[in-house]
Amino acid sequence: MPKLRTPYYLIDEAGLRKNLEIIRFIREESGAKSVLALKCFSTWCVFDLMRQYMDGTTSSSLFEARLGHEKFGKEVHAYSVAYSAEEIEAVSEFADKVIFNSVSQLKMFYNRVSGLKVGLRVNPGISYSHFDLADPARKYSRLGVCSEHELHAAANLISGMMFHFNCENDDVENISAAIDQIGIKYASLLEKMEWVSLGGGIYFTKDGYPLERFCRILKDFAERYGVQVYLEPGEAAVTCSAELVTTVLDVVHNEVDIAIVDASVEGHLLDHLIYRTNPRISSPGSGTHRVMIAGRTCLAGDLFGSYELDAPLKIGDEVRIADAAGYTMVKKNWFNGIAMPSIVVRRLNGTVELIRSFEYKDYISNLS
């Protein structure tokens, strides 16, 4: 592996392929298609590999939809919490499916997209999430149509429905019960549809997940209502396929040893700061030496976490942050003017390729 300047995101195509093989298995066994959730991962330098296993992309904005169209190809599912007229005009040029968040938006823009597959997002009133912040069915949620009366009134305008109601759901019993509940509640509507998306947030690539049972659940649902089922994996498609590689710049002591690395939670792993979680360390290994690992911004809470490592950290040591694919590169930012990590890929043949590095010109061009 060539010498690379840290920090950098290292995407491992072999790790990525493990998830993609599971996605292919689900497609073959259940008939359910999978479209990549670009809101989680849109690093298109590995799309050549991903498109061999997935059916297209799903988006949350015009720019994501355009990226999916231009860089991934195959099916383009275009969803947005709220479209402007200009965005609908643009997205209708290349989307295969346009999914509206509300009946009011559906009625407002239907004439502009009536030649496409049109859908509505539905809020089924149930969800699975460890965090209220990410709960699509939280109190006062604006995400999806709640009113069954509105749905029935609009049914003749749509060919499909999207239920996105999970976040990191690894409980097959829960997802089975939820899908049954959706079937019972919306049976008369589902029978009129051509396709149904069950959204993302289902952690079916977790080790030990009962894939055969999951496939039966999906297949039974599709056959019962005569619909094409879609899944929208984001995290499930890219989990355990990347690291954030950093170098220790300094070690200070304030009751505990604090190693400051050349990356940032605030800038480069923002979800951990938002949800107050701590990433795993893939290297060095675990042991008995306690150390806090911190980012280099001026934010006091820019902390990766406290760890027990196999040796004390010293200046110049490499620290690898695990599981750094989902919701990382899509959220990286220029806070404090800290240089963004480069993007590096280890291809299936073992070749390591520097895809992109970020310099001052990128920082200044992002401002005005």
pLDDT per residue of the chain (368 residues) written in tens, 0 to 9: 568 999 999 999 999 999 999 999 999 999 999 999 999 999 999 999 999 999 999 999 999 999 999 999 999 999 999 999 999 999 999 999 999 999 999 999 999 998 999 999 999 999 999 999 999 999 999 999 999 999 999 999 999 999 999 999 999 999 999 999 999 999 999 999 999 999 999 999 999 999 999 999 999 999 999 999 999 999 999 999 999 999 999 999 999 999 999 999 999 999 999 999 999 999 999 999 999 999 999 999 999 999 999 999 999 999 999 999 999 999 999 999 999 999 999 999 999 999 999 999 999 999 99
Residues 230, 104, 192, 187, CA torsion sign: positive
Residue ending a domain, choose from 182, 204, 238: 238
For residue 300, give Cα distances in angstroms to 273, 294, 297, 319. Answer: 12, 9, 8, 20
- Domain match, 255 and 179 both: no
| 8-12/342-346 β-pairing | parallel
Residue 274 belongs to domain spanning: 240-365
- Supply the pTM of this predicted model: 0.95
Residue ending a domain, choose from 215, 238, 261: 238
How far is it, in rounded angstroms, from Cα 359 to Cα 364?
9
Residue ending a domain, choose from 189, 220, 238: 238
How far is it, in rounded angstroms, from Cα 116 to Cα 97?
6
- Total number of domains in the chain: 2
Record the tokens describing residue 42, joined without a space. 């849109």
- Is 2 within a domain? no
